[in-house]
C-alpha cells in the first residue's frame, strides 16, 4: 500500500528582484526600476477575463507607476485590489515538486513505504491633452492606487503627455505603444497614492485586479521588455473551465518530468530546478513557453505540494462561475506556464487558447532511497547488484536534465563501491578537469 503525506516548501526561482507587471515601470526620478519577473493570474471563460497582477516592487513607492494596455474601457467597478496570499497559495499548489520513495526489503514481496512531496519553492494631469491626442477616460482611487484609463491617438502624443506628467519613459517604448494604439486598446495607468497607502497601513503593494470582456485572450508583455535589465521570468496561472491553456503564437513545451534523480538532490532541489529550467530554456533557444502544471482542481492533487485553494480563494481570484459553499464540485482547471523572455525572442504579446485537454500534468522529480537491510536472500543479492546500474542511470538523467558535469555528479553521489561498478573514466574525460 502506498502511503503518502505532503510537505509544503517554497522555491525562489528569482529572489531579491522587483517583480514586473505585463506593462513597464515608469519613474518620476532617476531611480533605476527593474522588472525581472512577475506573476499573473488569468481567469477566463468565454469572453470574460479577470486579470490579477502580483507586484513585488522593492523601490521607493512614490516612484512606482505602471502602464498596462487593456483591450476595453475599464469602469471603476471592474477594478479591485486582490490578496497576495491567494497568489502565493496558487503558486505553492502548482509548483514543481520532489517526491521520494524508500525501497522495501527485496526478500519478501517488495513494499514501498513512503512518499514525500516538496514544492519548489504603482497626479496630476495637465490640459495639453487635446494637442497630444491623449484623453483621460476615467480616473479612480482604489485602495492604495490612483488609476487612470487613457486613450491616445498616436504614440508620440502619449509619450509626450506621460513625460510632461513626470513619468520616465524607457527608450523604445514609443513604437510599442503605437502598436497598441492601432489596436484601439486603452492604457491602464496606476501609481501609489501615498496618503491612502499610509492610511491603509500596508507596507507592501497589493495585487491589482481588472475584470473585462474581450474576444482577445492575450497578455501584453512587450512593454515589459522595454526597460528590462536582461531577460525576465513570467509565471502565468490560468483558471478556466474547459481544460489546459496553451499559447498559440509560441510553442508550449512540457518540462521533463517523472525522472529518477540522485538522492543528494533532496538538499539541493532549488539549485537543481533552476539549472533544469536554465538548460531547457537554452535548448529551446528561449523561444518556448513551458508547461509546469495542468490539473483538474476537482481532483485535488497527487501528490499535494500544498493544499488546493479553497472555493472562496478561487472566487476572490476571479473564478466567477464557482459559488463558494455551494457544495458543488470545483469546476476549474489550472494551467501553470513559465517563460523567460526578452524583446528579441518574444517580439509578440502572448496569445492563448483554451483546449479541451483535461489530462493532468505536473513537474515531478523522484528520489528513491535504497533498502538498507542486511538480509542475504537471492533477491537481496540481485537487488544490490542492480543498484549500481540504477545509480548510474540517475546520474545520467540529472546530467541530461541540467547540463551538469556527470563526473561531478558521480562524486557528489559518493556511491559506495563505485569502483566496482565496471565504469571506468576514459583518458579524455580526465584531460581538462
Residue 219 to residue 242: CA distance in whole angstroms = 19
Residue 117 to residue 4: CA distance in whole angstroms = 8
User: In Å, how far are 73, 105, 366, 399 from 205, measured between CA atoms?
Assistant: 24, 54, 37, 40
Give the model confidence (pLDDT) of 136-188 as tens digits. 999 999 998 999 999 998 888 888 888 888 777 777 788 888 889 998 899 98
pLDDT-above-70 percentage for the chain: 79
Give the model confidence (pLDDT) of 220-260 as tens digits. 988 877 766 788 889 999 999 989 999 999 999 999 998 99
**Confidence (pLDDT) at 290:** 97
Give the model confidence (pLDDT) of 124-136 as tens digits. 444 556 667 889 9
**Confidence (pLDDT) at 32:** 35
**Confidence (pLDDT) at 311:** 87
Give the model confidence (pLDDT) of 250-267 as tens digits. 999 999 998 999 999 988
User: In Å, how far are 1, 91, 316, 334 from 115, measured between CA atoms?
Assistant: 11, 21, 33, 24
Residue 157 to residue 163: CA distance in whole angstroms = 10
**Predicted TM-score of the model (pTM):** 0.81
According to DSSP, residue 384 is labeled H
Q: The C-alpha cell of 200 is what? A: 491603509
**Confidence (pLDDT) at 382:** 87
User: In Å, how far are 68, 88, 145, 244 from 307, measured between CA atoms?
Assistant: 32, 12, 32, 20
Lowest mean pLDDT among 103-117, 283-297, 386-400: 103-117
**Confidence (pLDDT) at 29:** 26
Q: Is the pLDDT score of 268 beyond 70? A: yes
**Confidence (pLDDT) at 128:** 59
Q: For 402-409, which contacts have Cβ atoms below 8 Å and span 24 or more sequence positions?
A: 402/272, 402/275, 402/276, 402/278, 402/279, 403/275, 403/278, 403/279, 403/282, 404/275, 407/433, 409/262
Please give the full DSSP string across 110-136, using - where no structure is assigned: -----EEEEE-------S-HHHHTEEE
Q: Is the pLDDT score of 22 beyond 80? A: no
Lowest mean pLDDT among 116-120, 130-134, 351-355, 396-400: 116-120
Residue 41 to residue 337: CA distance in whole angstroms = 10
**Confidence (pLDDT) at 158:** 87
According to DSSP, residue 410 is labeled H
Residue pair 23/67 in contact by the 8 Å Cβ criterion? yes
Q: How do 364-369 and 259-261 pair as beta strands? A: parallel
Lowest mean pLDDT among 152-161, 288-297, 336-345, 424-433: 424-433
**Confidence (pLDDT) at 21:** 41
Q: Is the pLDDT score of 108 beyond 80? A: no
Q: The C-alpha cell of 425 is what? A: 573514466
Tell me the mean pLDDT in the region 54-65.
74
**Confidence (pLDDT) at 20:** 40
Q: Is the pLDDT score of 31 beyond 50? A: no
SS3 at position 28:
coil
**Confidence (pLDDT) at 295:** 95
**Confidence (pLDDT) at 130:** 64
> Greater confidence, 28 or 315?
315
User: In Å, how far are 10, 89, 179, 277, 409 from 273, measured between CA atoms?
Assistant: 12, 20, 37, 6, 15
Give the model confidence (pLDDT) of 342-370 as tens digits. 989 999 999 999 999 999 999 989 889 89
Mean pLDDT (the chain) is 80
Residue 218 to residue 352: CA distance in whole angstroms = 6
Q: Is the pLDDT score of 111 beyond 90? A: no
Amino acid at each position: 500500500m502506498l502511503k503518502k503525506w505532503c510537505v509544503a516548501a517554497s522555491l525562489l526561482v528569482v529572489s531579491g528582484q522587483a517583480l514586473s507587471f505585463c506593462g513597464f515601470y515608469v519613474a518620476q526620478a532617476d531611480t533605476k526600476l527593474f522588472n525581472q519577473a512577475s506573476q499573473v493570474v488569468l481567469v477566463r471563460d468565454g469572453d470574460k477575463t479577470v486579470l490579477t497582477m502580483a507586484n513585488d516592487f522593492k523601490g521607493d513607492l512614490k516612484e512606482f507607476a505602471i502602464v498596462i494596455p487593456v483591450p476595453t474601457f475599464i469602469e471603476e467597478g471592474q477594478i479591485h485590489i486582490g490578496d497576495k496570499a491567494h497568489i502565493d497559495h496558487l503558486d505553492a499548489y502548482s509548483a514543481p515538486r520532489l517526491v521520494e520513495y524508500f525501497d522495501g526489503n527485496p526478500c519478501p514481496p517488495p513494499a514501498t513505504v513512503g512518499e514525500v512531496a516538496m514544492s519548489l519553492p504603482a497626479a496630476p494631469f495637465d490640459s495639453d491633452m487635446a494637442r497630444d491626442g491623449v484623453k483621460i477616460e476615467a480616473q479612480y482611487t482604489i485602495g492604495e492606487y490612483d488609476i487612470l484609463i487613457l486613450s491616445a491617438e498616436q504614440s508620440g502624443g502619449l509619450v509626450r503627455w506621460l513625460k510632461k506628467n513626470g513619468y520616465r519613459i524607457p527608450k523604445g517604448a514609443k513604437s510599442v505603444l503605437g502598436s497598441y494604439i492601432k489596436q484601439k486598446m486603452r492604457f491602464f495607468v496606476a501609481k501609489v497614492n501615498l496618503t491612502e497607502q499610509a492610511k491603509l497601513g500596508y507596507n507592501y503593494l497589493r495585487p491589482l485586479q481588472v475584470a473585462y470582456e474581450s474576444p482577445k485572450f492575450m497578455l501584453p508583455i512587450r512593454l515589459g521588455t522595454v526597460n528590462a535589465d536582461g531577460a525576465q521570468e513570467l509565471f502565468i496561472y490560468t483558471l478556466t473551465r474547459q481544460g489546459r491553456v496553451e499559447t498559440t503564437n509560441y510553442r508550449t513545451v512540457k518540462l521533463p518530468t517523472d525522472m529518477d534523480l540522485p538522492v543528494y538532490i533532496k538538499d539541493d532541489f532549488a539549485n537543481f530546478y533552476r539549472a533544469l529550467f536554465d538548460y531547457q530554456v537554452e535548448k529551446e533557444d528561449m523561444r518556448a513557453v513551458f508547461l509546469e502544471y495542468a490539473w483538474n482542481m476537482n481532483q485535488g492533487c497527487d501528490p499535494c505540494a500544498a493544499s488546493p485553494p479553497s472555493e472562496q480563494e478561487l472566487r476572490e481570484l476571479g473564478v466567477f462561475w464557482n459559488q463558494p459553499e455551494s457544495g458543488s464540485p470545483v469546476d476549474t482547471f489550472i494551467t501553470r506556464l513559465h517563460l523567460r523572455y526578452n524583446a528579441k525572442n518574444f517580439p509578440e504579446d502572448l496569445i492563448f487558447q483554451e483546449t479541451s485537454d483535461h489530462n493532468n500534468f505536473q513537474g515531478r522529480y523522484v528520489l528513491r532511497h535504497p533498502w538498507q537491510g542486511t538480509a542475504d536472500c537471492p533477491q537481496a543479492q540481485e537487488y544490490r547488484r542492480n543498484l549500481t546500474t540504477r545509480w548510474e542511470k540517475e546520474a545520467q538523467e540529472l546530467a541530461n536534465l541540467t547540463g551538469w558535469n556527470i563526473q561531478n555528479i558521480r562524486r557528489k553521489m559518493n556511491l559506495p563501491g563505485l569502483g566496482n561498478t565496471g565504469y571506468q573514466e576514459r583518458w579524455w574525460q580526465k584531460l581538462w578537469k
